[in-house]
Each structure stands twice: as structure tokens, then as C-alpha cells.
């Protein structure tokens, strides 16, 4: 698009100065203009990426919904995930799709000024089968209602609220912990000593811990 604009401006400049020009000769500049537009695009992309990765929670609070999705996109990329954004419309309840090894995790991003309710959890649960995902996350800069927490726990949905998001940003657990991601992924293969099911990362009122995937039948937990 930028190359088209630059080409149009060039020919307008030629015309306005009453210069005669040969289209067959001047068309040779189009590849150069295209290269410039590509470089300019990547420069804007790189600048946006650096700005979002450096954002603290105060900046996050002012982001648009789309930029909050990009904020999570870049951070999950740095963790070592393969990440793709879903379409702006008809996303079927998920904003990002994460892949690590053979695991697929879907994420719903809520840059919110109020408490995030049960609807967000319902949407991400409904999206699990559509994306053939193994795990689901709802991430927000705000907090979750009690009903949202209850439904999330019942459906093994991981909730990242404001407190945890700040912790992840400040401690760098989003940005520079590929090793931690590998450790979490490997933990999925560790069996619960009580019932033999796998352990999963969970978040409760007292922090983050590992719990049995067979909850509530099995209530075994393990500290980080």
C-alpha cells in the first residue's frame, strides 16, 4: 500500500513540474519503493513490539483491546510459544492460539476497566473444541468475579488477573522464561502421586500452584 502511495506521489511530482517522463523507465523505481515500504513496515512493527514489551501495568490499562492482544502476543512469543492472532471478528471466543510442542492453548484477552464476569469463561470454554485446544486461559488487567472463578475452576480454565499479570511483568516470567515454560510443559507428564492423573498449573487466592487435573475428585496440590 505504501509503495503505491509513494509511486503516486512521485508521478504527481513529475506532472506538477511539467517534466516529461518515460513510464517504461520510471517503472524501474517501483521495486525500490516496494523495498522501502517493506522496511518501513518492519520498522513500525519493531517499534510497536519494543513499546509493548516495555509496558508496565499503568500503560497496559490505557491500551486498546487490540493492543492488549498484541501485548500478550509478543510476551508469549518471547516465552517460546508459536502464537497466532485470531480474526478480529468471528474469533469464536479466543483471541490468541498458542502452540508449544504438541500442546495447544487458547487465550481470551480482556483489557477491562471493570470486573471480568462469567461470560468470558463461558466463551473460552466454548472455544476449546472449535480450536481443538488442550488448555484455555483468560487474561485481564482487571479482576474476575466470584462466579467467573468458580466456573473457571470447574472447567480447568487458567485465570490471569491483574495481580498475577503485574507479577509476571515485574518478575519477567512472561518475557524471559523459556526454561520455565519447558518445566511447566514437562510437568504435564508427571503423574499425581494419589490418583495418577497429570498435574496442571493453577491460580488460587493464595497464589500459583500445581493441582491435579482430576480435581475435584482428587485434591492433591504441589507448590511451585
Domain parsing of the chain, residue ranges: 2-52, 55-174, 188-224
- 148: how many CB neighbours lie within 10 A of its CB? 23
Which residue's C-alpha cell is 518478575? 171
| Distance from C-alpha of 35 to C-alpha of 38, rounded to nearest angstrom | 5
- Give pLDDT tens digits for 119-141: 999 999 999 999 999 999 999 99
Which triple of cell numbers denotes residue 17? 513540474
Q: What is the pLDDT of residue 115?
A: 92
Q: Is 93 left (phi over 0), alpha (psi -120 to 50) or beta?
A: left
CA distances from 215 to 7, 204, 209 (A): 62, 14, 13
CA distances from 88 to 94, 120, 156 (A): 10, 16, 25
Q: Give the mean model confidence (pLDDT) for residues 10-31.
A: 54
- 67: how many CB neighbours lie within 10 A of its CB? 19
pTM above 0.85, yes or no: no
Q: Could you tell me which residue, 168 or 16, shows the higher pLDDT?
A: 168
Q: What is the pLDDT of residue 219?
A: 73
CATH fold label, 55-174:
Trna Endonuclease; Chain: A, domain 1 (3.40.1350)
| Distance from C-alpha of 96 to C-alpha of 107, rounded to nearest angstrom | 5
Amino acid at each position: 500500500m505504501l509503495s503505491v502511495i509513494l509511486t503516486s506521489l512521485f508521478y504527481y511530482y513529475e506532472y506538477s513540474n511539467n517534466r516529461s517522463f518515460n513510464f517504461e523507465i520510471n517503472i524501474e523505481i517501483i521495486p525500490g519503493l516496494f523495498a522501502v515500504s517493506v522496511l518501513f513496515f518492519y520498522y513500525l512493527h519493531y517499534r510497536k513490539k519494543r513499546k509493548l514489551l516495555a509496558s508496565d501495568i499503568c500503560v497496559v490499562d490505557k491500551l486498546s483491546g487490540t493492543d492488549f492482544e498484541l501485548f500478550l502476543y509478543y510476551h508469549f512469543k518471547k516465552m517460546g510459544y508459536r502464537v497466532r492472532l485470531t480474526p478480529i471478528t468471528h474469533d469464536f471466543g479466543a483471541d490468541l492460539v498458542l502452540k508449544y510442542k504438541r500442546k495447544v492453548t487458547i487465550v481470551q484477552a480482556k483489557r477491562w476497566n471493570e470486573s471480568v464476569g462469567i461470560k468470558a469463561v463461558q466463551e473460552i470454554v466454548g472455544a476449546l473444541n472449535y480450536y481443538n485446544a488442550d488448555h484455555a486461559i483468560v487474561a485481564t488487567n482487571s479482576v474476575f468475579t466470584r462466579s467467573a472463578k468458580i466456573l473457571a475452576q470447574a472447567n480447568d480454565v487458567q485465570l490471569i488477573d491483574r495481580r498475577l499479570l503485574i507479577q509476571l511483568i515485574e518478575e519477567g516470567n512472561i518475557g524471559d522464561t523459556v526454561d520455565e515454560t519447558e518445566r511447566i510443559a514437562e510437568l504435564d507428564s508427571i503423574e499425581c502421586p494419589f490418583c495418577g492423573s497429570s498435574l496442571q498449573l493453577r491460580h488460587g487466592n493464595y497464589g500459583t500452584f500445581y493441582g491435579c487435573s482430576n480435581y475435584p475428585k482428587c485434591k492433591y496440590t504441589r507448590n511451585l
